[in-house]
Amino acid sequence: MSIAFYFKLAFTNLKKNHKTYIPYLLTCIITIMMFYCLSAVARNSGLDQMNGSESLKVILKYAVWVTGIFAAVFLFYTNSFLIKQRKKEFGVYQVLGMDKRNLIKMEVCETLITIVVSLTAGLSMGMLFGRLMFLLLLKMVQFPVPLRYSVEPAALLQGALLFLGIFAATLLTNLFQVGRVKPVDLLKGENTGEKEPKTKWLFVLIGIMTLAGGYYIALATEDPLVAIFQFFIAVILVIIGTYCLFMTGSIALLKILKKKKKYYYKTRHFISVSGMIYRMKQNAVGLANICIMSTIVLVLISMTVSLYVGIDDIVSTRYPTDFKTELYMPEEGMKEKADQIVKEEAESENVKIKNLAEYTSGSLACMFDGKDTIEVDMTKVEGEISNVAEDYYCLLMLTVADYNALQGKNEKLSKEQALVFVSGPKAYTADTLKLDGKTYEVKAKNTKTAVKNSTLSSVIKTIYVVMSDEAQIENLVRTYGLEGANGLSYTIEFDLIGEKEAMRNAMKNMEDRLSEEIGESAAAEIRQEHKEDFLQIDGGFLFLGIFVGALFLMATVLIIYYKQISEGYSDRERYQIMQKVGMDKREVVRSIKSQVMTVFFLPLAGAVLHLAVAFKLMAKLLEIMYLTNVPLFAACTGVTILVFVVFYAIVFAVTSREYYKIVR
Residue 149 lies in a domain: yes
The angle subtended at Cα 636 by Cα 289 and Cα 457, nearest 5°, is 115
Residue 583 lies in a domain: no
Structural contact between residues 147 and 53, judged by C-beta atoms closer than 8 angstroms: no
Residue 178 lies in a domain: yes
Sign, CA dihedral 14-18-19-25, equals positive
Residue 372 lies in a domain: yes
Backbone angles phi, psi at 493, to 5 degrees: -145, 150
The reported pLDDT for the residue numbered 193 is 46
End-of-domain residue from the set 139, 160, 193: 193
Instruction: Quote the number of domains for the chain.
Output: 2
End-of-domain residue from the set 157, 173, 193: 193
The reported pLDDT for the residue numbered 505 is 92
User: Under 8 Å CB-to-CB from 659, ≥6 apart: which residues?
Assistant: 564, 565, 567, 568, 592, 596
What mean pLDDT value characterizes the chain?
Answer: 81
Residue 528 lies in a domain: no
The reported pLDDT for the residue numbered 80 is 80
CA 610 to chain centre: 13
Residue 431 lies in a domain: yes
The reported pLDDT for the residue numbered 316 is 85
Q: Is residue 625 predicted with pLDDT exceeding 80?
A: yes
Residue 651 lies in a domain: no
Q: Which of 49-58, 62-71, 89-98, 638-647 has the lowest mean pLDDT?
A: 49-58
Across 323-330, average pLDDT? 87
Could you give the CA distance from residue 286 to residue 280 in angstroms, rounded to a whole number? Answer: 10
User: Under 8 Å CB-to-CB from 501, ≥6 apart: which residues?
Assistant: none
What is the DSSP secondary structure assignment for residue 518, as one 8-state letter?
T
The CA-based dihedral angle spanning residues 537, 158, 170, 100, taken in that order and rounded to the nearest 10 degrees = 170
- What's the 3-state SS for 375-417? ECCHHHHHHHCCCCHHHEEEEEEEEHHHHHHHHCCCCCCCCCE
Element (H or E) spanning 90, and its range? helix 87-95
Q: Over the range 582-595, which residues count as b (16 or more CB within 10 Å of their CB) and which as e?
A: ebeeebbebbbebb
| CA terminus-to-terminus distance, the chain | 39
Amino acid code (one letter) for 309: V
pLDDT digits (tens, 9 = 90+) for 524-548: 888 888 887 787 777 777 877 887 7
Backbone angles phi, psi at 398, to 5 degrees: -145, 165
The reported pLDDT for the residue numbered 275 is 64
Model's pTM, two decimal places?
0.79
Residue 586 lies in a domain: no
Structural contact between residues 307 and 542, judged by C-beta atoms closer than 8 angstroms: yes
End-of-domain residue from the set 143, 163, 193: 193
Amino acid code (one letter) for 111: T
Across 382-409, average pLDDT? 76
Amino acid code (one letter) for 96: L
The reported pLDDT for the residue numbered 453 is 46
The reported pLDDT for the residue numbered 615 is 95
Domain range for 161 is 1-193
The reported pLDDT for the residue numbered 98 is 76
